[in-house]
Structure 1
C-alpha cells in the first residue's frame, strides 16, 4: 500500500526522479550511484539527500505507481538499471523465482537488529534472505460509527449489507483484496486458486455489486468523511487518513480475519553496487527513519526501535497502529499465486465486467 497520501503532501512534493550529488567520502563509491524505485511519497522527500550526506553514496529515485509496473520493467530489463526496489511480498517471491533479486548479506545491514523478531519469520522469505520488510498491515472494515448501527464484525456486513447500508458501501477493486473479502467470508485462503473457490467467490462478489456505492481504491476514506459512504473495505493505514479528519471513523478486522500485507525492500541481482544498495537499506532501518512512516503516513512498520520511538498519543488516536506483531502474524500472509495467477486474474476481470 505504498501510495501517496495527502497527509504528507507538504513534505513530499518533488519530481518523479531526484538525483543527488555525493559528498565526501564519495570517492569510495566511484562505481556509480544507486537507483531506487519506490512508490511516490513512501519515504521522506529529503531521504536520499541525507543518505548521501551520511555515506557519500549518490542516489537516484525512480517512482513506480504499482507493483505490476515495476515488475514489468524489471522482468523486461532483467533488473538492469535498478539497485533497490520497494515491492509487496508476493512480488518478492516472483522476483526470487525468476532469479532477479540478490541474497542479502546481513553483516552489511546491521540495523536489521531493529526489526521485531516476528519480522524475520515471514513465510514468503523466512529469515529475510532476499528482502527486508519496510511496512506492514491489514485490510479490514473502516466505518462511520455515528452512521452504522453497532460494530460491523464480518466481511458479510460488507458483502451482504443491512438495508440501511445498501448504496453506502465501497470495496477495493485491486484483485488480491477484492477476492480476499469473499475468500475470508467463506473461510477460504486469501491465496486460493482452487477452481471451486474462485467460482464461489465470483458468485458472491457479483451478487454484492448491486449494493455497492462504488469500487474505490483511492478516495474511500474521503467518502466516509463526507458521509457519502458509511462502510468501506480499507487498508488500515488508509482508514487512518479518515480517522485523522473525523474521530467517528473506526477500523476493525472482521471476525473471519484479514490478510497481512508487507511492503519490502530488495536488491536486484543485476545491481553493480550491491554493497551500496545494502547500505541504503541499513540507513532506512535506522530508528528515526523508520519512525517517519507511522508518524507521517500512518502505516505500521516492522521496525521495533522505530515503533517504540513514537509519541504514545499517536497510538491513542490511531489504535490500529498499536496492533502487535504477534497479532499481525495471526493474519494470513499474501503469497505469490504462481501458475494460478492466470485463472485468478480471469475471475477478477469477469467480476468487474459483470452487470
Structure 2
C-alpha cells in the first residue's frame, strides 16, 4: 500500500563478471541481472546498490503504481522481462493460478527462519510455496483526537458520520478497501462473493458518499494534518505518516473487524535468473535490511528478528507498529475473489460515479 521514487541499474566490473558468489548458502553467477517491479519508495533507496556490492548481481528497478498495473504487464507478457515482483496477497493467488509465478526453493532462502511462525503459513499461500511476505498490516480509522467529539470505534462512524464530521471524512477508493468498509459495517466478509451482500454494501457506500470530503488513497493523512479532514479511512502505516506530523492523530481498528493485507515478494515463472532472484529475497530478509521498512516506511514487517531490533521508542510513537502477529491474524486475510472481482469493480465504479 505504498510509496516514493527511484530507479537504479548497478554495474559491476569485468573482473566480478567472472566470479561466482555465494550469498548465505545460495550460489549465483555474478554476471546475472535481475529486474524487480515494486511500488515507489517501498525499499531503501540504496538497496539495489548495496545488493550489487555484496553479491555482484546487477539489479534494476521497475516501478508500478498498483497491483493491477503490474498484473496487467505480467499477464500480457507472460512475466518475461521480470524476475521479482512485489504484489499483495490476492494477486499471489491469482498469479499462481495462472502459473505465472514459480514455486520457491526454500533451501535458497535460509533467512526465511527470521519470519514469525504466523508468516510462514498464511491462508493465501500455505508454507510460502509461491511468496514471501514483505510487509503486513490492517486497515481502519485514522482521526484527529483533538477534533472529534467522540473517539470513533465503528465503520458506521465513517459511513454515517455525526453532523460535525460531515464533509470532514475521506475514504479509500481502491476496490477491495472501499468495498471492505461497507461489507464489514454490515457484518459480512471482506472476501464475500455473495451478489446480495455486494449489492447491500454498494448501496450503503453510495449513501455514505454524500457525507464525504473526498475519496483519497494518497494524501488523506495530509488532510488530517491540515485539519481539512477529521476522520479518514486509512491503512495503518499511512496513518503513521500523519502521526509523525501531529501526535493528536490516532489509529483504531473498528469493532466490526477489518482486513489483514500482506505485500509479498514472488519470482516469475518466466525468470531466467531464479537463483539470483532467490538471493535477492534472502537478502531482504536480513534483519538489518528488513528493519529499514519498519523504521522508514512505518509499516510492520513479518520478520521477527527485524521487529525485535526496533527502538522501543518507535512503537511508543506509532502504537500500531506494536500490533502482534496474533492480533493481526484475527483480521480477515484478503483473498483472490476470482470472477467476483468484476462485481467489486463494477460496484465501485457505480459508487464513485453516483450523484
Partners in 2 of 1:66 and 1:26 — Cα distance? 35
Q: Which whole-Å CA distance do the structure 2 matches of 1:26 and 1:113 have between them?
A: 31
Cross-structure match for 1:152: 152
Contact conserved, 2:261 with 2:333, CA < 8 A, in 1?
yes
The correspondence of residues 1-355 of structure 1 with structure 2, limited to 5 A, is: 1-4=1-4, 14=6, 17-22=7-12, 25-27=16-18, 28=20, 29=29, 32-355=32-355
CA distance in 1, matches of 2:166, 2:274: 53
Q: Deviations over 1:234-271 (max 9, x none)?
A: 00000000000001000000001110000000000000
C-alpha displacement of 1:30: 5.6
What is the TM-score when the length of structure 1 is the normalising length?
0.95
CA–CA distance in structure 2, aligned partners of residues 22 and 318 of structure 1: 40
Shift of 1:150: 2.2
Query: TM-score with structure 2 length normalisation?
Result: 0.95
Task: Say which SS state the counterpart of residue 40 (structure 2) adopts.
Answer: coil
1:53-108 per-residue CA deviation (whole Å, 9 max, x = no partner) reads 11111111111111111111110110000000000001100000000000001110
| CA distance in 1: counterparts of 2:340 and 2:257, whole angstroms | 23
SS in 1 for 2:102: coil
In structure 2, how many angstroms separate the alpha carbons of the residues matched to 1:2 and 1:243?
17
Q: Which structure 1 residue ranges, 5 or more long, are not aligned? A: 5-12
**What is the CA distance between 1:32 and its match in structure 2?**
2.9
Tell me how far 1:25 sits from its aligned partner: 4.7
Unpaired runs of 5+ in structure 2?
A: 21-28
CA deviation map 1:6-52 (0-9, x unaligned): xxxxxxx53xx321013565433266311111111000111011111
- State the alpha-carbon separation in 2 of the partners of residues 144 and 78 from structure 1: 46
Superposed displacement of residue 347, structure 1: 1.0
Q: For 2:120 and 2:30, locate their aligned partners in 1 and report how far apart those are by CA, in whole Å.
A: 33
Maintained 8 Å contact 1:26/1:58: no
Deviation at 1:151, TM superposition (A): 1.5
Paired residue secondary structure (1:19) = coil
Q: CA RMSD in A?
A: 1.1
For residues 260 and 26 of structure 1, the distance between their equivalents in structure 2, rounded to whole angstroms, comes to 43
Moved more, 342-351 or 256-265: 342-351
CA distance in 2, matches of 1:141, 1:25: 51
Secondary structure in structure 1 of the residue aligned to 2:213: strand
* Number of aligned positions between the proteins: 345
* Inter-partner Cα distance in structure 2 for 1:30 and 1:111: 21
Indicate conservation of the 8 Å contact 1:2/1:263, yes or no. Answer: no
Q: For the Cα contact (< 8 Å) 1:135–1:299, is it kept in 2? A: yes
- Given that residues 293 and 301 in structure 1 are in contact (C-alpha distance below 8 angstroms), is that contact kept between their aligned partners in structure 2? yes
Provide the C-alpha distance between the structure 1 equivalents of 2:30 and 2:110, rounded to a whole number of angstroms.
23
Q: Which residue of 2 aligns with 1:7?
A: none
Shift of 1:2: 2.5
Separation of aligned partners in 1, 2:344 and 2:314: 38
Instruction: State the SS of the aligned residue for 1:60.
Output: strand
